[in-house]
Structure 1
Amino acid sequence: MLTVSEIKFKQIARTIESRIRDGVYPPNTKLPPHRVLAEELQTTPVTVAKAYKLLSEQNQVESFVGRGTFVCGESQLSSVIQTSDDEDDYNFSILQPCLSHNVPELQSAIRSSASKITSHLTGYAENSGHERHRQTGIRWASQYGLEPGTVQNTLLTSGTQNALAVLVESLTKPGDTIAVETLTYPGILAIASLRRRHVVGVQMDENGMIPEHLQQTIEQHHPKLVIVVPSHQNPTGITMPAERRESIARVVRQHNIWFIEDDIYSFLNEDPMPAICNWLPERGFHVTSLSKAICPALRCGFIKAPSSQVATISAHIRTDIWLASPLNFIIAEELINSGQAFELAERQRLLAGERQKIARKYLPHSTIPRQGYHLWIPLPSHWQQERFAMEAQNHRILVSSGSYFDTQQSCNHIRLSLTAINSEQKFKQGMEKLNKLLHSDPATVFSYQTNPF
């Protein structure tokens, strides 16, 4: 027979379940502290703790020491990265190349690649893909600061997101902690959430992740893995100087933990920057792809892995996808070996610089870098980030709320992509509308308005 106490905490658990289903407690949100919910439901904090524990055992919530209890997550990438086929939308949400500038070269590369398709290249392959395609990955990454790998320790994936997911799955287990920048790429947070890994944010300054805070985080939280975006960091736009990169590597090496360098934006640096993994040959995994420089649809990603981990990572790639499509890598091979890939990447870098100049005219009081695909914009005090993103969408302006990037829920920003809009004229129109909305009074902006400007 159940005791009164057991009946009580199970009733509370059912109440919380109902609130989760009804959207009162959405996925990834923090539940009230034990004391607060106990006062609301006229019970004790101990009883609430038992209800949370029951829900945790049912994989409906997760508890983190020092952070609280959260509704089990779902990927929020669809909210951060808003694709739109409506030509009337101003899409400042998705980070991608200005695709209209690359289409002719892609068409040419596809035509040239057709004659290279053979039965050998369309069948299954050993390891993570064909040796010739791994060689093109070596050439691509070494152009932008990575000490060249070998065909043995270079692995092929279906883009960077696939690479990150495979590495998190390979190097950690459910319940492990991953250290990331306090503000970080939501794709990393989505992977961690869906795979039941805990995330802890490491403080940043104008040069990126702070080595001393990484040291403290490792000593306090004992993460199994550190993930860093060193160039044109998403969302802040910060690029780590070489000295900071070496310092981060030193801390990782001292504690002998795994390290992932998401180096997808390195092509945007005016001059090559040394990869952090250059100092971590036995602990570092370097990840990059062609998605941001050439075309997201190619899905060509590359991992340079420590030799000791190649077999393990290869096994995970094979289990997940068997191998990344060789047909895509045939096109990538044509682009890289002909030199067109580097020309297209440089074209996008210069275009991003021009878009940055335009943005400074419309947002003169914001801190705007000179290069990069995106801006990290602090909002005026009269706007809150979620409300602004919602109102912007009602005005056909798609932006990303800073909440999706924030491990500590302490910012009030939006992230703006500068290159997803193909037309210069439309980009300027969108910036003008965005500027007007930023300076408007939320009390006078109504969601049902369709053409306030």
Structure 2
Amino acid sequence: MPDVDLMPRWKRLVDRNPGPAYLSIVLALEDSLRQRLLQDGDRLPPQRQIARMLGVDLTTVTRGFSEARRRGLIEATVGRGTFIKTGAGDAGWRDTQGAIIDLTMNIPPVPDSPSLENLIQSDMRALLRKSDSGALLSYRVTGGTVEERRLGAEWVKPLVGARKEDLVLIVPGAQAAIAAVVSTLTSPGDTILTDRFTYPGIRAVAAQFGLIIKGVEGDAEGMMPDAMDDVCRRYAPKLIYCTPTVQNPSTATMSVQRREAILAVARQHRLFLLEDDPYGLLLRDPLPALAQLDPSRVFYISSLSKVISPGLRLAYLVVPSMEAGYRMTSAIRALSLASSGLMTSLATRWIQNGSAGAILSAIQTELRERQAIALGILGGGHGMHPDGPHVWLKLPEWWESAEFVSHARKQGLGLVPGSVFAVEHEPPRRVRIALGSASSRESLEPSLRRVADLLVHRREHGFGAVV
């Protein structure tokens, strides 16, 4: 059982959170998992003790624990108590030090040609010759210079259409852009909508700002309009977060018709959408972003992390209006001040001289090859997109997600359990495999064959993963 000193921390979080008390308990539990204050297998104090120490009703704690069970965080055994479920915390699946290959990080493969190392060396030298080194190393204007914004608008034009540079902001990474939009458009206690299984980064932002997330049921194209309309009527959300193209983790991709239907529901309920589009440029034939179909209603984010390199730490935030741009600029300044001058200048130069396009093309080709390898080894029936960077692997009925990941790690493979992506439902019997983190196709193939072997392995009765 964890030290009872954990309870004062929980009480501070519960007292500070303006949302429902039972959800505040779940958020406090998630916070303790993120901070490694709780580990897999830890037994929690009795519910009555927690209620007394938090100053809430027993029914509030019971309701909070029920929600935590639905999210795959805890499990209860009659006569023994309530325990942190294996795989609930980050510590287990992120521990990939002994892995033959780490398939957890959804990053683009490093292309052989053009060589990023050579480009970085040559273009950094060129920048230092051309520019004042003091300007490159100093603080930058929040949101980027006019030229940086203009080239950013050109970069995202295939997805959002022509935009004036005044509506494009340079942000140090997509996560900072997400935080800026969410914190500006919502208040603590508000509800936001996401897919039923969603990018963990939006969950982290929601927890940080005291927001409630409700998941929307989806199909092969992502969010279903009728389900979205129903959740909007029931919970009156303030914002919709979605990834219409190669959704993380499901790989669901909305058709143009589905995008129009989702926008129609948003208009009906007078809601803004936050469109997170890290993979849109990977497609052979890019689909129009929601922001192109309805520019007045969508805040759009395109990151270079998934299509060029995460080391650039650069994203483009396209806003619906000048007034929204002023508000986002203030939020970005408060959260992260400004982007790195060195990295922004390098990325801008690459867009200007065509290097970014060449890198993108090489990554597109490499990912298509890796997806073909994955399809050949793992077969169909999984969440896959021929241009995408990951696989949403469906597990047989004898495997739970966390146990499969734990067993795979013992075989030298790093995977991500489905519980990491679950919003408020039972964790899916799936795991995510990132194809880009392998150093080469030659190292990816044997790793995927190991995964395929594990899929057909039946656990013996009573198998339990020990982390």
Q: 1:384 aligns with which of 379, 382, 400?
A: 400
The equivalent residue for 1:98 is: 109
Q: 1:411 aligns with which of 421, 424, 428?
A: 428
The CA deviation string for residues 379-432 of structure 1, in whole angstroms up to 9 with x for no partner, is 011110001111111221000001111121241100001111012221111111
Q: CA deviation at 1:15?
A: 11
Q: CA deviation at 1:448?
A: 8.9
The equivalent residue for 1:210 is: 224
Letter in 1 for 2:268: Q
Q: CA deviation at 1:185?
A: 0.7
Partners of 1:378 and 1:414 within 8 A in 2: yes
Matched, 1:354 2:369: yes
The equivalent residue for 1:175 is: 189
The equivalent residue for 1:17 is: 7
With normalisation by structure 1, the TM-score equals 0.81
The equivalent residue for 2:450 is: 433
Q: Tell me, in whole angstroms, the C-alpha distance in 2 between the residues paired with 1:83 and 1:216.
A: 40
Q: Tell me, in whole angstroms, the C-alpha distance in 2 between the residues paired with 1:154 and 1:62.
A: 46
Structure 1 window deviating more from structure 2 (312-321 vs 363-372): it is 363-372
Q: CA deviation at 1:98?
A: 0.8
Name the SS of the counterpart of 1:259 in structure 2: strand
C-alpha spacing 1:326/1:63, structure 2 compared with 1 (3 Å)? farther
C-alpha spacing 1:442/1:316, structure 2 compared with 1 (3 Å)? same
Q: Tell me, in whole angstroms, the C-alpha distance in 1 between the residues paired with 2:271 and 2:52.
A: 34
Partners of 2:176 and 2:336 within 8 A in 1: no
Name the SS of the counterpart of 1:27 in structure 2: helix
Q: 2:29 aligns with which of 27, 30, 35?
A: 27
Q: CA deviation at 1:203?
A: 0.9
Name the SS of the counterpart of 2:240 in structure 1: strand
1:224-303 pair list within 5 angstroms = 224-303=238-317
Partners of 1:80 and 1:186 within 8 A in 2: no
Partners of 1:83 and 1:94 within 8 A in 2: no
C-alpha spacing 1:343/1:393, structure 2 compared with 1 (3 Å)? same
Q: Tell me, in whole angstroms, the C-alpha distance in 2 between the residues paired with 1:190 and 1:122.
A: 30
C-alpha spacing 1:97/1:109, structure 2 compared with 1 (3 Å)? farther
The equivalent residue for 2:41 is: none
Name the SS of the counterpart of 1:139 in structure 2: helix
Letter in 1 for 2:456: H
What's the RMSD between the two structures over aligned residues?
A: 3.6
1:313-328 pair list within 5 angstroms = 313-328=328-343
Q: Tell me, in whole angstroms, the C-alpha distance in 1 between the residues paired with 2:30 and 2:307.
A: 32
Q: CA deviation at 1:108?
A: 3.5
Name the SS of the counterpart of 1:227 in structure 2: strand
Q: Tell me, in whole angstroms, the C-alpha distance in 1 between the residues paired with 2:286 and 2:241.
A: 20
Q: Tell me, in whole angstroms, the C-alpha distance in 2 between the residues paired with 1:263 and 1:79.
A: 28
Q: CA deviation at 1:369?
A: 2.9
Structure 1: stretches of 5+ with no match in the other structure:
1-13, 31-39
C-alpha spacing 1:82/1:344, structure 2 compared with 1 (3 Å)? farther
Partners of 1:129 and 1:326 within 8 A in 2: no
Partners of 1:353 and 1:372 within 8 A in 2: yes
The equivalent residue for 1:333 is: 348
The equivalent residue for 1:6 is: none
The equivalent residue for 1:11 is: none
Structure 1 window deviating more from structure 2 (93-102 vs 133-142): it is 93-102
Structure 2: stretches of 5+ with no match in the other structure:
12-25, 33-44, 74-87
Letter in 2 for 1:212: D
Q: CA deviation at 1:355?
A: 0.7
1:45-194 pair list within 5 angstroms = 54=56, 82=94, 89-101=100-112, 102-103=115-116, 104-118=118-132, 119-143=134-158, 145-194=159-208
Letter in 2 for 1:263: D
Q: Tell me, in whole angstroms, the C-alpha distance in 1 between the residues paired with 2:156 and 2:286.
A: 10
Higher relative contact order at CA 8 Å, sep ≥6: structure 1 or structure 2?
2
Matched, 1:423 2:440: yes
With normalisation by structure 2, the TM-score equals 0.79
Partners of 2:139 and 2:340 within 8 A in 1: no
Partners of 2:260 and 2:293 within 8 A in 1: yes
Partners of 1:179 and 1:227 within 8 A in 2: yes
Name the SS of the counterpart of 1:28 in structure 2: helix
Name the SS of the counterpart of 1:219 in structure 2: helix
Structure 1 window deviating more from structure 2 (367-376 vs 104-113): it is 104-113
Q: Tell me, in whole angstroms, the C-alpha distance in 2 between the residues paired with 1:206 and 1:130.
A: 40
Q: CA deviation at 1:67?
A: 5.1
Name the SS of the counterpart of 2:130 in structure 1: coil
Letter in 2 for 1:277: A
The CA deviation string for residues 105-134 of structure 1, in whole angstroms up to 9 with x for no partner, is 344333333323324454444442211111
The CA deviation string for residues 1-31 of structure 1, in whole angstroms up to 9 with x for no partner, is xxxxxxxxxxxxx79939989xxx993399x
C-alpha spacing 1:79/1:108, structure 2 compared with 1 (3 Å)? farther
Letter in 2 for 1:95: N
The CA deviation string for residues 263-303 of structure 1, in whole angstroms up to 9 with x for no partner, is 11001111121110123323210001111111101001110
Partners of 1:52 and 1:61 within 8 A in 2: no
Q: Tell me, in whole angstroms, the C-alpha distance in 1 between the residues paired with 2:276 and 2:91.
A: 22
